[in-house]
Amino acid sequence: MAESARSLTDLFGMLGNRRAAEARPAAESAPAPAPEVSHPTKALQKFLGCLQNRERPVLVDLGPVVGSNVNFFGEQLGCRIRVEDIASDIETHLKGGKADQLPAFFAKRFTQPPGSVDGILCWDVFDYLDKAAAQTLASALITLLKPDGVLLGFFSTAEVREPLYTKYVVVDPLHLKYRTYPASRPRQRALLNGDIIRMFGGLRVSDSFLMKSHVREMLFRKNPT
Amino acid sequence: MWKRDESVKPATPPAPAPAAPAAPAVSVPPAASSERRPQHMGENVNIGKSVIIKGELSGSEDLTIEGHVEGRIELKENILTIGPNGKIRAEVFAKSVIVLGEVTGNVTASEKVDIRDNGSVDGDITSPRVAIAEGAHFRGSVDMQRAGAKPAAKAAAPAAQAAPAAAAPAQGQKVGA
């Protein structure tokens, strides 16, 4: 009798486990992050095209380090790539209550000699800066570029109030994944086309694409001398 | 009832059974073992947490550093692993370098540099292959130049040029010249 009671308990225990097992997948699926979507890009391929015929070009990436991007650009261009994470600079200043010192910081930020860089990947860093800091950074980058150098910038066309940075992960020359991570403050403003062109006064706009992802992709070239 | 019960009974004990063979593996986590002892080499020297070395370090065995090293490390034919507790302020030359701790200084590897999750490199990397994990910190430049190799994209350039026309999405309307 005792054995039969134990067996029944086992049986009900099993049913209980099965219910729990059935419930688990639903619970696990609820917080699962949304799958990363690849977004088309048009300017990246143009950017690569501008650098492909150069002998060992020097690239500066202003975004956070992405291992696969380093490999991608290394393999595509045989380049030397320098990672200068501007988002981390912004965070350091914001957390230290020194946001007003960003313009002075950017004026001395880069140690490379003037005219030594073939390409600059700005991604969307300008969206996170106020006008003064953005202008100083733009001027520093123009100085860094070689004659005929190329600069790629992304500018949000929508007012986004979420405090998030975006890592742009290169899938291939025509696609990027947008991977967000927390920021101390949201994008500052959606820059108008005219403001952007004025900011990069020493460069000419070679291409500009308005993407469905509410990103304006712009490619700037420095005039050959 | 009894028959059904008997048929059910054997199903319950096997549940804990699979756990038994897994238990011995707990003593050395597989990830940790592979990090500490690079796979293919028999000899691996370990510099412990409490060791501080200032000067030049060179050798012909694989080396794992958990302590502090300042100066220069040269293991040109071997694998150097900077363990999670390792702190290096040095110029590093090795066949492969695996970073789980902190490195300040330039790193040159003839095969590969691998910065793992929570690993940190502040310096320039020269290596034909570089892997940087998602949670890793890196500040500096990467030079992936292979000796005598031409950039792969030059051959692929015509294909890449043709691609946009074929794959041109409806979006991405060109708005500037």
Assigned fold of A38-222: Rossmann fold (3.40.50)
Assess B139–A contact: CB distance below 8 Å, yes or no: yes
| pLDDT tens per residue, range A205-224 | 999 999 998 999 999 999 98
Strands (E), B35-126: 44-47, 52-58, 62-65, 68-82, 87-99, 102-104, 107-115, 120-122, 125-126
CB atoms within 10 A of CB A60: 24
Is A56 close to B2, i.e. CB distance below 8 A? no
Residue to mutate among A7, A111, A120, with most B CBs inside 10 A, is: A7
| pLDDT tens per residue, range A9-29 | 554 555 445 444 444 444 445
Task: Choose among A14, A45, A173: nearest Cβ to B8.
Answer: A14
pLDDT given for residue A37 in this prediction:
83
Assess B151–A contact: CB distance below 8 Å, yes or no: yes
Beta-sheet pairing, B68-82 with B62-65: parallel
Kindly indicate the confidence band of residue A150, based on its pLDDT and cuts at 50, 70 and 90.
very high
Please classify residue B55 by burial: count the beta carbons closer than 10 Å to its beta carbon, then call 0-12 exposed, 13-18 middle and 19+ buried. Answer: exposed
Query: Minimal Cα distance from B130: which residue of A?
Result: A71
Please classify residue B84 by burial: count the beta carbons closer than 10 Å to its beta carbon, then call 0-12 exposed, 13-18 middle and 19+ buried. Answer: middle
Q: For residue A86, is pLDDT > 70?
A: yes
| pLDDT tens per residue, range B7-52 | 444 444 444 434 333 333 333 333 344 444 444 445 788 898 999 9
Q: For residue A153, is pLDDT > 60?
A: yes
Question: What's the gap in Å between the CA of B121 and the closest CA on chain A?
Answer: 11
Question: What's the gap in Å between the CA of A52 and the closest CA on chain B?
Answer: 6
Task: Choose among A10, A81, A212: nearest Cβ to B9.
Answer: A10
pLDDT given for residue B172 in this prediction:
53
Assess A4–B contact: CB distance below 8 Å, yes or no: yes
pLDDT given for residue A76 in this prediction:
86
What pTM, to 2 d.p., does this model score? 0.73
Assess B13–A contact: CB distance below 8 Å, yes or no: no
Q: What is the mean pLDDT of residues B87-106?
A: 96
Strands (E), B135-176: 137-143, 173-174
pLDDT given for residue A121 in this prediction:
97
Task: Choose among A65, A67, A209: nearest Cβ to B174.
Answer: A209
Looking at per-residue pLDDT, the higher value among A32 and A133 belongs to A133
Residue to mutate among A80, A85, A211, with most B CBs inside 10 A, is: A80
Q: What percent of chain A has pLDDT over 90?
A: 71
Beta-sheet pairing, B125-126 with B137-143: parallel
Residues 6+ apart with CB under 8 A from A196: A126, A153, A155, A216, A218
Please classify residue B108 by burial: count the beta carbons closer than 10 Å to its beta carbon, then call 0-12 exposed, 13-18 middle and 19+ buried. Answer: middle
Is B132 close to A67, i.e. CB distance below 8 A? yes
Q: What is the mean pLDDT of residues A189-218?
A: 92
What residue ranges do the domains of chain A occupy? Answer: 1-32, 38-222
What residue ranges do the domains of chain B occupy? Answer: 38-136
pLDDT given for residue B10 in this prediction:
43
| pLDDT tens per residue, range A34-81 | 567 899 999 999 999 999 889 889 999 999 999 999 999 988 888 899
